[in-house]
Amino acid sequence: MENLVLTQKMLVSVKQSLIDGLTIASGAKSSATYYHGKDEQMKAIQTQIRGLYKLSKELPLIIASQKGATGRFVSEVLLNEFKQTQRGGACNIVNPIDWYDNGLGDKAVLTALNNLGENGLPYVLRLFVDLKNEKVNNERTRKIVLGYIWGQDNLEFYAMKYRNKIADILKHVYGVKKTSILLTIAQKQINIHGANIVGTQKEINIVNDMVLKYFNGDSIRAFKLLLFLFKRDANVIYNETEFPLLSQYKIAQTDITGVQNVPEEVLLGLISSVRHPQYHTMWATELQREATKAMIRKNVKVTSVNQQVRQTKSTAKLGVTKTVQVEKATDYLALYKTGYENGWTAELRSAIEKLAEKKRIDGFFYQNIGVIVDDSISMTGHKAESKNTPRAIADFTAKVLSKSAQNAVVVKTSDVFTDLATSFIELLKKEDEGKPYDAIFILTDGYENAYDGLTNEVIQIWKAETGRVIPTFQISPITSAEMGANVRNLGAGIVTMAINNPAALQPQITARLLEVDTKMWLENQVLALEAAPVKRIKKISVNV
């Protein structure tokens, strides 16, 4: 990589934009919260991204590649990027030779896309659907979409679970005419039970160019998947060895009893159709529905552990006993909410401990930290939010922080009211003189009940009297797209951050630390992008 081309003059505005961008990226989401409407959130995200892009086109992608950037933010960055031409926008940070010719731009897009995929496939599919809605269909976009979808290892399962959505996306990318051609070729090949493609050279070229270039499998398998996605599979045979899932789906179309490898929601979709042969015996009345739901819940084996944890309450309501391997869950919100709402078990606690250990921040900046957790009623959330979400975020973040630092003292507010000031004094009393705090984290929505500003008064007096300079972070679990999440700040000198996941902590802290040496921080990010092992497709590296 060549040196950065960032000028000193630009450095100032880039620095502030980066800080703002990182703050928003780790808090931005599209759903309404206590304080923000959905439209306001979206507007704020889009404005921020447009601003960053205008300043320098690499900035949004660099931020979207950070761990902890929310799915919504990454999605909007990519949508914005795909809307532009590949060479549109100004490269003011990285040398354009690196960005365009040496493929750094491509890597940045793919790293961001992989980052989005870590939030779950639905996020990526939603982005691809947005591309359709925004009528974005340039060559670069097409190749990235096809590479991503056809490159999925578990495409058979996703084809079943997100059938219509994937079909819509492919139809948009291929276009109506080419989709029709592909399906015709597929049908022809399947009908002659072809082991290999026997077609014209033109047909072979089309299939190679549009499918096989991206797909890790033989052509017959690809054709069968295509025909399933586009509902042209009436005469297609899916045998159990090659298609363990789709073969079960075929059975479920006439008989859902005993089906184990089809997702619950897909089975419910099938049986709830009046055209299903078992509709009148299994779904027509309330009683039948309850019994069928219970049967499905009991039988289905392809439900993810996270979903099973989230279903704890409804599973019990359906009268089904199901052993869930909670220690395999990766969704901390699901674990916490199950605990809050259904009672804590030793397994749940242990699963959370293990998950927090797994999520610990490597190379955390601080070693001896004090943590205050607001445990007041308002942390259970507002009606606009999912119940207990802020509380779960705060509790888990405290745990992750404790595991990330060498020494941590955690204090919870002791009453239903938010009395952070008293907790701060309690934290000071518990400080080990041999290991003085090097940072203090206050996890709260910021609404003090004692009187607003009291905590700040205490902190300021303490700092002034002791002369200690300790970074004090207010971490709000009420996330939003607006700057500072419009979260009520405890006071001057306390850095406010809004996060919806402990993973967002590091970039938020980074955002503050990059003030020290913005250029060095940027250089490190670009080097990380350069080293990222990403390709558009797994089989072939494609250059536009």
Partner 1 sequence: MNTRDFTELLKGCRPVKDSDGNIIVQSIMNMQIVCLTTDAEYSLDNRFANPLTSLTSSNSSYGQISFTNKENKEVILPAQMAIMTKQQAQNHGMVKAGYIPSKASTTYHDAGCVQGSQGGHFRGTSEYRMIPVTMREMLWDAVGKTSGHGNIYPAIDKLGRDTQSDAGSYLDKYFNKYDKKLEQFIAHFERPRNLIGIIILIDGEIVAVDKFPSFTYAEQVWDIMIRDCYGALAIISELKHKSNMNEFTQTYEDLKKSHRESIVDLLEKTMKRTKEKVTADVHEKIQELLELTFDATLDTEGQITGSRMPKSYVLKTDGYIGQVITENEFNHLVSVVKRDRFDPNALRDLNELRKKARRQDKFSL
**Distances from the Cα of 158 to the Cα of 167, 229, 245, 538, angstroms:** 11, 10, 10, 18
> Least distance from C-beta 477 to partner 1, angstroms?
13
Nearer to partner 1, 279 or 447 (CB): 447
Nearer to partner 1, 156 or 445 (CB): 445
Residue 216 CB neighbour total at 10 angstroms: 15
**Burial environment of residue 218 by CB neighbours within 10 A (0 to 12, 13 to 18, 19 or more):** middle
Q: CA–CA separation, 76 vs 74, rounded Å? A: 5
Residue 542 CB neighbour total at 10 angstroms: 17
Let me know: does 278 contact 271? Beta carbons within 8 Å. yes
Nearer to partner 1, 219 or 486 (CB): 486
Encode burial over 286-303: b for 16+ CB neighbours within 10 A, e otherwise. eebeeebbebbbebbebb
Q: CA–CA separation, 516 vs 524, rounded Å? A: 14
Q: CA–CA separation, 544 vs 139, rounded Å? A: 8
> Least distance from C-beta 72 to partner 1, angstroms?
21
Residues whose CB is less than 8 angstroms from the CB of residue 96 and which lie 6 or more positions away in sequence, other chains included: none
Residues whose CB is less than 8 angstroms from the CB of residue 243 and which lie 6 or more positions away in sequence, other chains included: 156, 224
Nearer to partner 1, 159 or 379 (CB): 379
Q: Which runs of consecutive H residues, i.e. helices, occur in 151-199?
A: 155-161, 163-174, 176-191
Q: CA–CA separation, 301 vs 450, rounded Å? A: 51
Contact residues for partner 1, defined by CB under 8 A: 34-35, 376-378, 382-383, 414-418, 421-422, 425, 428-429, 445, 447, 449-454, 457-458, 461-462, 465-466, 486, 488
Q: CA–CA separation, 455 vs 475, rounded Å? A: 14
> Least distance from C-beta 418 to partner 1, angstroms?
7
Residues whose CB is less than 8 angstroms from the CB of residue 336 and which lie 6 or more positions away in sequence, other chains included: 352, 388, 391, 392, 395, 396
- Three-state secondary structure call for residue 376: coil
Nearer to partner 1, 274 or 492 (CB): 492
Nearer to partner 1, 450 or 495 (CB): 450
For 369, the enclosing helix (H) or strand (E) is: strand 368-373
Nearer to partner 1, 153 or 433 (CB): 433
Nearer to partner 1, 37 or 277 (CB): 37
β partners of residue 113: none
Nearer to partner 1, 37 or 244 (CB): 37
> Least distance from C-beta 452 to partner 1, angstroms?
5
> Least distance from C-beta 427 to partner 1, angstroms?
10
**Burial environment of residue 27 by CB neighbours within 10 A (0 to 12, 13 to 18, 19 or more):** buried
> Least distance from C-beta 505 to partner 1, angstroms?
23
> Least distance from C-beta 479 to partner 1, angstroms?
14
> Least distance from C-beta 247 to partner 1, angstroms?
50
Residue 487 CB neighbour total at 10 angstroms: 24
Encode burial over 67-80: b for 16+ CB neighbours within 10 A, e otherwise. ebbbbbbbbbbbbb
Nearer to partner 1, 237 or 377 (CB): 377
> Least distance from C-beta 374 to partner 1, angstroms?
10
Nearer to partner 1, 130 or 426 (CB): 426
β partners of residue 441: 371, 473
Nearer to partner 1, 106 or 374 (CB): 374
Biggest alpha carbon–alpha carbon distance for the chain: 87
> Least distance from C-beta 428 to partner 1, angstroms?
5
> Least distance from C-beta 480 to partner 1, angstroms?
12
> Least distance from C-beta 400 to partner 1, angstroms?
25
